[in-house]
Structure 1
Amino acid sequence: MKRALLIIDVQKTFTHPQWGKRNNPDAEENIKQLLDEYRKKDEEIIFIKHVSKNPLSGFHPNHEGSTFKDIVKPLETETIITKEVNSAFIDTSLENHLHERDIKEVVITGLTTPHCVSTTTRMSGNLGFTTYLIEDATAAFGIHYKETFIDAKTVHTVSLATVHDEFATVMTTGEYLQRL
């Protein structure tokens, strides 16, 4: 079965203190392990880049934060798809790109678990792709909701739980690499 590794929004803006504390500080290292393995096997790799139209956003193209983190930078020959919303499938070429290459399996990594990662995961599953979400190759930040602060680990865990076995199979980097 042909597969693709999606690396979602691993951009420098997520290092800004405004985001607060996140869980899983090794997410990028785990993404790099997967990326290295996909490169060795000459498998499809797709980088997703969030781009904002707001010039004040860290995701705006004129902002240094919009660039990919060095640890998982794409090669010139690798595909980059830009998006303006939380799903990598909405108003992008991603779905057509996958179909044109007869890709049936999508492996999802990146930032952040409750936002672009989970939304893309849900859509991938709904579109009929066999989808894997790599739990230690993604991360979340804490969230304020009304008078409550929900810590990053809880946000991450709940986000994974809401997609597992319905939209995707959630597993660790090690578990996924064993099945490759």
Structure 2
Amino acid sequence: MFDNPLAQFFGLLSYCLGIYCFYQRDDRRLKIVMFIMQTNNCIHFALLGATTALLSSIFSVVRTGLSLRTKSPLVAWLFIAVSFSLGLYLTDVWQDMLPVIGSCIGTYALFCLQGIRMRLAFLLGACFWLANNIYVGSLGGTLLEATLITVNCRTMIKLYRA
């Protein structure tokens, strides 16, 4: 399960980047750090051989980059449709759809939401990614999502109080 040290290294690096990401109160900074983290996730899931997680991470990199330039719901729905369709095509078992669903929720959040609503959607998406990371044996990914759920909740409370 955790027998690929190089893959686990990149997973743990994503863990660190993710914590930094969700401490950001500024939506733009959050998206920039998320872009870097998701690029790292591509390497991590490729090394693990987790095809649908890799595909979802690649889409996440592209969509996060685009979300820095546009807030178009049309772009969001296009990404969701393509990601979901390709995920279904590549799925061998139902668990393969966990990262796809998480990515679709994240896509909607990035393009259509902001502030606390965006972070609530990220929270839901993180639950799907947490389940995926446990399933594929990603130590760093499992720690990342479990921690992000906590950090994201903390940041939402701070934003709400402000």
Q: TM-score, normalised by structure 1?
A: 0.31
Q: TM-score, normalised by structure 2?
A: 0.33
Larger radius of gyration: 1
Q: Pick the structure with more helix per residue.
A: 2
Q: Pick the structure with more strand per residue.
A: 1
